[in-house]
Chain A
Amino acid sequence: EAQVTQNPRYLITVTGKKLTVTCSQNMNHEYMSWYRQDPGLGLRQIYYSMNVEVTDKGDVPEGYKVSRKEKRNFPLILESPSPNQTSLYFCASSLFGANVLTFGAGSRLTVL
């Protein structure tokens, strides 16, 4: 089944404790991206990647890092999480940039 898989689905952590949210797709998509969803703000793009080793900032990249060492994986790294990063995070992929996005199921992160 074609899908985007992200883990963990739920996470509660404390300020400053590094964490990684993994994202993997099995559709051989070139483009992958991360979004955060907050009430009243819609979806905001954090980072995106056009291909392996090619990443770029979205609208809200502060406090986040990404890497794209393999085509199928695009992890989101929070080096020192803060409470304002408490949010619902979605990974998404598409065949190429401006095209249909397939979203993962979401990861709800709480930073205390």
Chain B
Amino acid sequence: GENVEQHPSTLSVQEGDSAVIKCTYSDSASNYFPWYKQELGKRPQLIIDIRSNVGEKKDQRIAVTLNKTAKHFSLHITETQPEDSAVYFCAASEDNFNKFYFGSGTKLNVKP
């Protein structure tokens, strides 16, 4: 089965700095890569996703890049704000089998 690894497990940045979270996957058949944000005590919510036919996607301060050859994808958050503090999960899925495999999560702390 698929194996998704996520790094780092914790990340602390100063407000205004950029944050990068990286994930690798093992199954080249995976073609859908979402990122979820989970605030303390809340449910995970999608912040951005990318499919394998696209190399990069942006939404305001958030971007995701995908390298299919190397089997890794990354979340980039620019101009971080205290409200970005949360746990972020990457995931991989594949159209035909429809299983979801999540990374172990990154706890991001943005210091004011």
> Which residues of A approach B to under 8 Å, CB–CB?
31, 33, 35, 40-45, 48, 50, 56, 58-59, 90, 97-101, 103-106
Contacts and interface: CB of A to CB of B under 8 A. Distances in A.
Nearest to B9: A40
11 contacts: A33-B100, A42-B89, A42-B104, A45-B102, A50-B98, A58-B99, A59-B101, A98-B98, A101-B46, A103-B45, A104-B43
Contacts of A40: 9, 104-105
Contacts of B36: 101
Interface residues of B, number: 26
**Which 4 A-B residue pairings sit nearest by Cβ, starting from the closest?**
A97-B98, A98-B32, A103-B43, A98-B93
Contacts of A33: 100
A104 B45 CA distance: 10
Contacts of B95: 97-98
B32 A41 contact: no
B100 A101 contact: yes
Contacts of B46: 100-101
Contact of B6 (A42, A44, A99): A42
Q: Name, among B6, B9, B95, the residue most crowded by chain A CB atoms within 10 Å (CB to CB).
A: B95
B31 interface: yes
B89 A43 contact: yes
Contacts of B45: 103
